[in-house]
Structures are given as C-alpha cells and as structure tokens.
Copies of this chain bind each other. A is one copy, B any other.
Amino acid sequence: MAHVLDGLPIAVDAMGGDRAPSEVVAGALQAAQELGIPVLLVGDGAYLESLGPHPGVEILATTEVIEMDEDPGKAVRVKRDSSLVRCAEAVRQGRASAMVSAGNTGATMASALLRMGRLPGVQRPAIAAVIPVPGSTPTVLIDSGANVDCNAQMLVQFAQMGWALAMERFGIVDPRVGILSIGEEPTKGNGLVKEAHALLAEGRAGPEVRFIGNVEGRDVMSDRVDVVVTDGFTGNVVLKTLEGAVTAVVGAVLGALSSTEEVKQAAKAIMPALVPLATEFDPDTYGGAVLLGVNGVCVISHGSSGARAILNAVKVAHHAVADKLVARIESVIGSGRD
C-alpha cells in the first residue's frame, strides 16, 4: 500500500458514535497508516494527545460533545466547540477536505448544512445510503432519512444527486434511476410519487439522468436498478427494514447451523464459503452514507461503527474528494430543467 499522506486531511469526529472515541480513532489511525490518507482527529485534546504522534495524523482539540440523543438543531447552535461542529468548520475553512462522523445523524446534517452551506440550486440536501446487492454493484437509496416530508421537486434533485454518486462511487456508467413505488405502472403510488414520476419522465432531471420509472421494494436489493429515489421517511423505513431482515435471516441461518452437534461439525466445512457473504451484507463494508447537496463531502457512518467502518468511511470520503463528487453534483443540478 502506497503511503502518500499528502494533501488535505479528512476530518474525523473522534467523539461521535456508540463506540467513540476508541474504535473511531483506531479506524482513523488505520486509514493514515494503511491507506496513506491523512486524517484530522477532532475531539477531546487530552485523550487525543495521549495517543502520541502518528505520521499523517493531526489533532484539533475541542471541548464539547453532542450526544446521540440530543436535539440536533439546538445542539449545533449551542455547542459551537463540539467535535461535530468543528469538523464541518474545518472543511469550510479549507483545513480538511471532507468530514466523517458516526455521531448524531441529525446534528451531523445540521453542522454540515450550517458550516458548509448548500450547493447553489439545491433545495434540500439528502442522505444517500448504500444497499449491498449480492453479486452486483450496490444500490444507492436516496433520501434515506434527511427529509421526512418532501415535495416532487426535491425528489427530482435526489434523482440527480444519487445518479452522480452511483457514477462516482461505484463507477456505474449511465446508472438506472427509479422511483420507489408500489407498482411499476406510472399510475401506481401516492400523490408525491405520481407527481415526481411525471417530472422525471419529462426529463426535469436533465438529459444525462436515465429514469427507468417506478421500482418496488423488492428491487432495492436487486440488480434491476442503481439509484432508488424516495422521500426521507420511506427511505429510512426501507433502510432499517433491510437491516432487520438481513439480521433476522442471517441469525436464523446461523442458529440452524448450530442446532445439533452433527450439523455443527458439517457447518465447519462450509463456513469459509459463508464468511464472504457476511462481509458483503455488513453495512460497515460500505463505510456509511453520504450527505449530498452540501458544499463539501460529509460521510455519515452508522452509530455502531467500529474501526473497520471508520476506515472505510475515510476511504469513501477520500475518493469522493479525489473524484470531485461535489462538482459533479453541482453540474448535474445545474443541467436540470425547472
């Protein structure tokens, strides 16, 4: 692995997440050491200094922490010296190229929005989550929780931003963009979906974005579509439903494989074949969701992120910067028709 360690660092919120700071810091250190990506650890000064110096690792000492269950808007306004707010500030000030946090999702969005600002023309930033698809590139699910109540114009922009991410992150040429509904026909869906469908069908997302029409819940984890567009309420429900289903099925399979001594013995021989699956379905593999539509790269990791998830999140942030994700989004938003 090349140890580059030049360029601006990725700001990592050392205090955010259920397993912060130890696991978060461990992941960030690995990113510097193993991937050669410089990081800026943002958080409790005494703790971070106690780790000693590491090549490619800078420290930004802060005095406050936004807890997982705090009211996002209020916390961001009041706790100006929190690790989260300082991460976003570091990006705005050009001290870091991107930010990563596994902390309070609402506060992460609020910090990014307040400090980095929205991209010109973007109505509302949205969270793009990454859904694993066995044997294929992942599906981008946007919005997966930033905006609970949406209008049709917002969904058109989610289509544009998700499309840009699918190209950038997974190298998909001409990604297929679908809108989540309850039937394939354009007449199926609630009022919001039907209106957004009409706008997308008439090319409001611009000439480049390939709209394939309605898709259904069963398509999210399939190779039928690359970008699934939905409002933040439905998207968040889908994301957590998938999480629950994968956990339930995997749990049931593992339970069955240890049901008797005989089965347990036989299962040993097949475990090597099953382990790669566990990695494929593990959300940590994808390093987290991305907040799109703000003027900077902001990766939102799962609250339960361990070192490996943070390592991958830093990698995702690094590539997004290198691939000019923000400029791509600005460009596709600009090519849409009002």
Quick one: CB contact mask for A56-76 with B, threshold 8 Å, 1 for yes? 000000000000000000000
Number of copies: 2
- Determine whether A255 belongs to the interface, using a CB cutoff of 8 Å to chain B: yes
Quick one: CB contact mask for A231-269 with B, threshold 8 Å, 1 for yes? 011101111111111111111110111011011001101
- Determine whether A37 belongs to the interface, using a CB cutoff of 8 Å to chain B: no
- Chain B positions within 8 Å of A236 at CB level: 182, 217
Interface-forming stretch among A25-33, A107-115, A155-163, A273-281?
A273-281
- Determine whether A216 belongs to the interface, using a CB cutoff of 8 Å to chain B: yes
Interface-forming stretch among A80-88, A203-211, A219-227, A311-319?
A219-227
- Give which listed residue, B181, B193, B218, B273, contacts A241 with CB less than 8 A: B218
- Determine whether A191 belongs to the interface, using a CB cutoff of 8 Å to chain B: yes
- Chain B positions within 8 Å of A267 at CB level: 266, 270
- Determine whether A36 belongs to the interface, using a CB cutoff of 8 Å to chain B: no
- Chain B positions within 8 Å of A243 at CB level: 217-218
Whether A221 and B237, one on each chain, are in contact in the complex, defined by CB atoms closer than 8 angstroms, is no
- Give which listed residue, B241, B252, B257, contacts A217 with CB less than 8 A: B241
Question: Which residues 273-296 of A have a CB within 8 angstroms of B?
Answer: 273-274, 276-277, 280-281
- Give which listed residue, B182, B217, B244, contacts A219 with CB less than 8 A: B244
- Give which listed residue, B149, B253, B269, B277, contacts A191 with CB less than 8 A: B149
Whether A273 and B245, one on each chain, are in contact in the complex, defined by CB atoms closer than 8 angstroms, is no
- Determine whether A148 belongs to the interface, using a CB cutoff of 8 Å to chain B: yes
Whether A277 and B248, one on each chain, are in contact in the complex, defined by CB atoms closer than 8 angstroms, is no
Distance from A14 Cβ to chain B, minimum over Cβ atoms (Å): 25
Contact A263 B270, CB 8 Å, known A182-B237, A218-B243, A242-B241: yes
* Top-7 shortest CB links A-B: A217-B240, A218-B244, A217-B241, A266-B269, A245-B245, A134-B252, A182-B236
Extra contacts besides A189-B233, A253-B253 (4): CB < 8 Å: A149-B191, A218-B247, A237-B238, A266-B270
